[in-house]
Amino acid sequence: MVVETLMKIKPNIPLAPLTTFGIGGNAKFFVEVSDVEELKEAVKFTKENKLPIFVLGGGSNILISDNGFDGLVVKMDIRGLNFSDIPAGWYIRVGAGEMWDNVVAQAVELNAGGIENLSLIPGTAGGAVYQNIGAYGSEIKDVLIFVQAYDISIDNIVRLSNEECDFEYRSSIFKKNKNLIVLEAELLLPKNYIPNLLYSDLQNQFNGRNPTITEIRQAVIEIRLSKIPYQQNIVPHFFQDDGHQPFMGNAGSFFKNPIIKISNFEFLISKYLDLKGKNVGNGLVKLSAGQLIEKCGFQGKRFGNVGVSAKHALILINYGGGTSKELAELENIIETAVKAEFGIELEKEVEKVAF
């Protein structure tokens, strides 16, 4: 095996401490990259040694197998955050390794609106693009104009437009084509931006008045902390299920909110009068996966070392000592129960690695 290619490569590195779940085995090889040349060298190492590659950001939306990753894990640390005041608005260039909430915080300080609803979402900017993060009616695709990416298949940097990124609900081309590694995102926050207060959680905070961008960010932070409090002094952005309990790892929302036909929704609310649904157009309604799981009686339930948060049923937690096998089994139990009760198949938001 060729190991001289990149001297920073380390063997047999634990991955659990690098994830918010705190679960996972070791990486066969591990390296941090801070620029494109280091990334290219890392990719070259995997090709020469016929190894799979996995790019790790903030570790906030993944569940790594107890068996670890039998290849090279690349920790993305390409930084850089620049704001430019142009006639159309605030133009932002951000490196994939920058923490996403830091981008939001600096935008709000400049009174640049458009991403304040995405406050306190853990992880990196690269992960935000990869996942097409969203919250309270906003998604990163709403403000993204271009992405610089490294294409492993052609050993070259490509620049993809918003349309070419093929964004969908919690998905993008980067999630579908693992040859593409996000290096940098280019955003535009328009000066004629109108705050997005469509979600009831935010409307209830302001009682009809027009809040500032700073007030919206603070409200989003307060709402998120009420559901998923976490300790900021634990890196990277580990969540805590209860401030009075020992640390419990989680990855935020484990499942996506299902989208069904209006006709199916009308049938369901004839049986469950309080079922929440949001019309998303084209004859479709988005349900609350958390509410479905709660109605199946899982909220606050513990299964060995893992369980379902008492604060929000959409969050699966590791009480300490939990394994990926335990979480996968709990996932299956929940999916089976929701399918039996509502006829709805839940889809994971969390990405499983090396299962």
CATH 3.40.50.1820 describes domain 10-76: no
pLDDT digits (tens, 9 = 90+) for 276-331: 999 999 999 999 999 999 999 999 999 999 999 998 999 999 998 999 999 999 99
Q: What CATH code would you report for 81-218?
A: 3.30.465.10
Q: Which of 60, 172, 253, 324 is catalytic?
A: 253
* pLDDT value, residue 245: 42
Q: Which of 119, 170, 172, 309 is catalytic?
A: 170
Other residues' Cβ atoms within 10 Å of the Cβ of residue 311: 16
Q: What CATH code would you report for 249-353?
A: 3.90.78.10
* pLDDT value, residue 6: 52
Locate the domains of the chain by residue range.
10-76, 81-218, 249-353
Q: Which of 116, 139, 331, 349 is catalytic?
A: 349
User: Is 253 one of the annotated active-site residues of the chain?
Assistant: yes
Side-chain-side CA neighbours of residue 208 (13 Å):
0
Structure tokens at 323: 């394994």
User: Is 349 one of the annotated active-site residues of the chain?
Assistant: yes
Average pLDDT over residues 85-103: 97
Q: At a CB cut-off of 8 Å and minimum separation 6, what does 47 contact?
A: none
Q: Could you give the CA distance from residue 330 to residue 336 in angstroms, rounded to a whole number?
A: 10
* pLDDT value, residue 187: 98
> pTM for this one?
0.91
Do 255 and 349 form a contact (C-beta atoms < 8 A)? yes
b/e for 190-202, b at 16 or more Cβ within 10 A? eeebebbbebebb
Q: Could you give the CA distance from residue 93 to residue 147 in angstroms, rounded to a whole number?
A: 9
**What pLDDT band is residue 237 in, cutting at 50, 70 and 90?**
very low
User: Is 209 one of the annotated active-site residues of the chain?
Assistant: no
**What pLDDT band is residue 235 in, cutting at 50, 70 and 90?**
very low
Other residues' Cβ atoms within 10 Å of the Cβ of residue 80: 14
